[in-house]
Structure 1
Amino acid sequence: MKLKYGRKKLEFKIESSKVLDILKAKEKEGLAAPQAAVERALADPTGSAPLAELLTAKKIDDLVIIVNDVTRYTPYHHMLPPLLSIISEAGIKKEQVTFIVATGVHSPHSPEQNKEIFGKKIDGNYNFIYHNCDHNLADLGKLSTGNRLKINKKVAEADFVITTGVILPHYMAGFSGGRKSILPGVAGRESIENNHALMIDVIADPPEISENPISQEMFEAAAKVGVDFILNVVTNSSREIVQVTAGNYRQAWEDGINTSAEMYHLHLAKKADAAIVSSGGFPRDINIYQAQKALDHAEHAVKKGGTIIWVAECSEGYGEERFEKWMNEAQKPEDNVKRIKEKFLLGGHKAFAISKVAVEKEIILISDLTVEQTDNIFAKKMTSIQQAVDYLEEKYKGDYSVYILPQGSLTVPVVK
């Protein structure tokens, strides 16, 4: 069997009798004409007038389109041409359109990455701004939770705001897309930290999406900003579009989450002794910070005291300065679990997420990280999946069960 690792695949063998199941997404076929589907969604949206009508109904001098960064693959080659065509037909000039890259607390793209994501034509003809969570923010006041909402000033002052994204499972917020373009996408650092601090209460036993406090606060933030229109897609593991949804920031997004859940929420009868999980290759395993989602998903499928073999290249190392600092300073995983409860800090939340798994389970990591870097995140480095499988045989004396998760960042085991 082969699992994705960066831009390549790693091969290994395991006795089929040990494998309870290979947890793959319940795939839906990609649309035969995805760009035409985008055009239809924009013309006949959910909970909203058609985009063309909205654009001509008010005076627009400054239109903002919020887009995902490199860590969240989104099929913009299908999504943006129809969107920009309608904007142009409404009489809005290119100079009046600004793309805001929703980096949250992430670093900005390189110029080469921007061209790869959005295409040379769009990159060269439109103004792109990378959100900075520490600068150029507008204070929109407090949310009902008490969290003060600070938002990218360009977004806050825009005459019309369109958000774009992809709807996939998310280990904290339930699903990505929709309201996440605002919070955390273009929010201030403190606003993001206060929102993500709620993860401590939900990560061990995720609630239904309608009861998820992280998602609820994100919706309130989107309403406060005044998102005018969204364009979201649901993609399969081959990154093909299976559904396009557009319109009202809540109704259109909710239209897509059922499709996403049908594909990626996998119901299990029981937990296994071990799991072998790939973060899904590039860009999902570009660094530990991003690859962590797969570890969290695999953890739900493994018994307390079990073993997780985690396959993630992490060519860019840890991926976030504070996360690395917390890992350097912790002597044992329990230190980070305790520390996050004393004061929640972004970056620290990833240290907590990995450490809480390490408290109860053994983590074997196959990556480009050094032995020292791997030890530092409370994992054991091995050089191949096969070496790790052989280790399982020895550890359990041949008597163990295992789940294999080839698409670990996407598939969510649900054991009830």
Structure 2
Amino acid sequence: MAKIGPTMSGFRSVANQYTPIMNATTAAPTLTLSIRCRSNAGRHERDKNLLMAHEVAPPGEGLSALTQRELCDGCMRVDFLYGANRVSLNMDIHYNTDEFWPREATSHLAVEPDSATLEALDSSSVFSTKLSSFRDGDTVAVVLGSDINSSDAVQLLDALLTTLRARGVRMNSVSIVVGSRWPLPESDLFSKVAAAYAHRVGEIVGHNPTSQDLVVEAGVTPTHGTPILISQTVLGADLVVLVDRIRVDPLIGVTGGHTSVLSVSASRTIGANRRLALDEPFRPLDGTTPMSVDAMEICGTLDIDLCVNVISDYRGSPISVVATSPSEAHRRGIDTLSHFAHVRIDTDVLYDLVIVDAGGSPRDSTLYQAVDALYAAYSVTRRNSTILLVAECSQGIGPTGLLPSPQWPRSEFRLGMEKQSFLSRLLSERRVILVSSIFEQMCHGVFDCVQPGSMQDVFDGLQCQLEAGPSRVAILHAGGDMVPLR
């Protein structure tokens, strides 16, 4: 008979349903599926089509979210985020499998971005101080960072523009700059912002980091000497407001706050900032990374001192909105996300096989974004183990410097190289299988690549290899938004 048993003392059993007992600061719980099927002449002795419900997500304080898992002949179906869709595995499990999620914002923790923004701006002393010195004829540049989605952006913009108008700022003096760190085609965010605000503000600018005509030089950062080439619209404004989303990022710590200024910088500035991470380990939720310190100095040089940032859980549900200085927004983002991203893992547990998804779209739009999920998988696996990374990569690799190439020495830095150090170490100690729609030849033999339709066969083969001895398997959902704690 299959048995589902939680391993945390913070669970209680009520009619086969498990409810986590936790408070707002508790790390996300773990559920261990101890499914053992007795076999007789190679056949499982169990009832077919047995439906069992168990806790699969740590949605928050004292609440549970149940999912149905069909167990048939010892198989359990597990869904993984894949772009805008899901892919599934039928897992024939006869050893312990641990399943992990980041925390979710429950209904009483989630906020409405527009009303939360109005409230944050109304109570912001930084915002009030800046507007107190605002004069007729002064200009405002609202920067939309590259990590915010279009829905949140529109709601935050509506609230911000409403507040500016109420404080006497003329809308024709407001420019909206849609940021970008990569030379990509016109984004969905730019299209939606242009459609919604074309006749409501002075101008809408789509930033192109490769265009020399749109940026001006404004000095260098004192610590690392990064050249500051910034959007001329931003540099010429009397008030600059950075609007973005704060989320976990293994290179810079978290996005948002002062890091959003890179979204309106030139490629030369972005490259110099990213180069600071060349030999750095991944440090998610760390506010003192060289890249973060460098971005803070850029904001200081440009006298940018106001952010309106939304902080979201791994599903994109808003947790809070902050309207304050870049450094304070960054600090609050780290404090808040620590409660949602940290996942407690037993100190003695290392896994032989981990299946991890990057969190679906947009976290797996490119391979460059998707590899962030490998940090969590690497942290919980033993040497020579296997990691199955599920990521659609609908837009390909992303920055071409991500994958090593003898044609490009490290001295000729290209965007993407900042993650090479972590990838090289990972690939020398782990086997990584990429489940993706990306063309295999694009990976240059770095990963074993399989299409989603072949994932089940690959997993079955790995499972057969593990049957030779006692093994542990972990399932990590939204690995890019997860930070394991030991």
Closer/same/farther in 2, CA of residues 256 and 17 from structure 1, 3 Å limit: farther
Higher CA-based Rg: 2
The count of corresponding residues between Structure 1 and Structure 2 is 398
Residues 1:391 and 2:461 are matched in the alignment: yes
**CA shift for structure 1 position 264:** 0.4
Q: 1:8 aligns with which of 85, 94, 101?
A: 85
Give the partner amino acid of 1:388.
V
1:12 aligned counterpart, secondary structure: strand
Paired-residue identity, %: 24
Closer/same/farther in 2, CA of residues 100 and 293 from structure 1, 3 Å limit: same
Distance between the aligned counterparts of 2:157 and 2:98, measured in 1? Answer: 38
Distance between the aligned counterparts of 1:168 and 1:208, measured in 2? Answer: 9
Structure 2 portions without partners, runs of 5+:
1-77
Q: 2:415 aligns with which of 327, 346, 356?
A: 346
Distance between the aligned counterparts of 1:396 and 1:287, measured in 2? Answer: 31
Q: TM-score, normalised by structure 1?
A: 0.86
Higher RCO, 1 vs 2 (CA within 8 Å, ≥6 residues apart): 1
Closer/same/farther in 2, CA of residues 67 and 108 from structure 1, 3 Å limit: farther
| Equivalent residue, structure 1, for 2:196 | 121
| Equivalent residue, structure 2, for 1:137 | 215
Residues 1:155 and 2:234 are matched in the alignment: yes
Distance between the aligned counterparts of 1:395 and 1:81, measured in 2? Answer: 56
Between structures 1 and 2, the one with greater strand share: 2
Higher mean displacement: 266-275 or 235-244:
266-275
1:231 aligned counterpart, secondary structure: strand
Instruction: Give a deviation string over 1:360-380, Cα, whole Å, max 9, x none.
Output: 211111111223234543333
Q: TM-score, normalised by structure 2?
A: 0.75
Between structures 1 and 2, the one with greater helix share: 1
Closer/same/farther in 2, CA of residues 113 and 40 from structure 1, 3 Å limit: closer
Maintained 8 Å contact 1:24/1:407: yes
Maintained 8 Å contact 2:80/2:87: yes
| Equivalent residue, structure 1, for 2:433 | 364
Maintained 8 Å contact 1:298/1:308: yes
Distance between the aligned counterparts of 1:147 and 1:77, measured in 2? Answer: 32
Residues 1:189 and 2:263 are matched in the alignment: no
Give the partner amino acid of 2:377.
A
| Equivalent residue, structure 1, for 2:350 | 271
Residues 1:245 and 2:322 are matched in the alignment: yes
Maintained 8 Å contact 1:52/1:87: no
**CA shift for structure 1 position 123:** 5.3
Structure 1 portions without partners, runs of 5+:
none
Distance between the aligned counterparts of 1:170 and 1:8, measured in 2? Answer: 23
**CA shift for structure 1 position 74:** 6.7
| Equivalent residue, structure 2, for 1:40 | 119
**CA shift for structure 1 position 200:** 2.9
Maintained 8 Å contact 1:272/1:401: yes
**CA shift for structure 1 position 390:** 1.2
Maintained 8 Å contact 2:80/2:477: yes
| Equivalent residue, structure 2, for 1:401 | 472
Distance between the aligned counterparts of 1:243 and 1:236, measured in 2? Answer: 10
**CA shift for structure 1 position 283:** 1.5
Give the partner amino acid of 1:385.
M
1:209 aligned counterpart, secondary structure: coil
**CA shift for structure 1 position 356:** 3.6
Instruction: Give a deviation string over 1:326-361, Cα, whole Å, max 9, x none.
Output: 55x45xxxx98xx43x44321333455444422221
Matches within 5 A, 1:265-344: 265-268=342-345, 269=347, 270-320=349-399, 322-323=400-401, 327=404, 329-330=405-406, 339-340=409-410, 342-344=411-413
Distance between the aligned counterparts of 1:305 and 1:9, measured in 2? Answer: 28
Distance between the aligned counterparts of 2:413 and 2:344, measured in 1? Answer: 32
Distance between the aligned counterparts of 1:108 and 1:351, measured in 2? Answer: 25
| Equivalent residue, structure 2, for 1:86 | 163
Maintained 8 Å contact 1:70/1:283: no
Maintained 8 Å contact 1:147/1:195: yes
Q: 1:104 aligns with which of 165, 181, 186?
A: 181
**CA shift for structure 1 position 33:** 4.0
Maintained 8 Å contact 1:171/1:297: no
| Equivalent residue, structure 1, for 2:63 | none
Closer/same/farther in 2, CA of residues 170 and 382 from structure 1, 3 Å limit: same
| Equivalent residue, structure 1, for 2:481 | 410
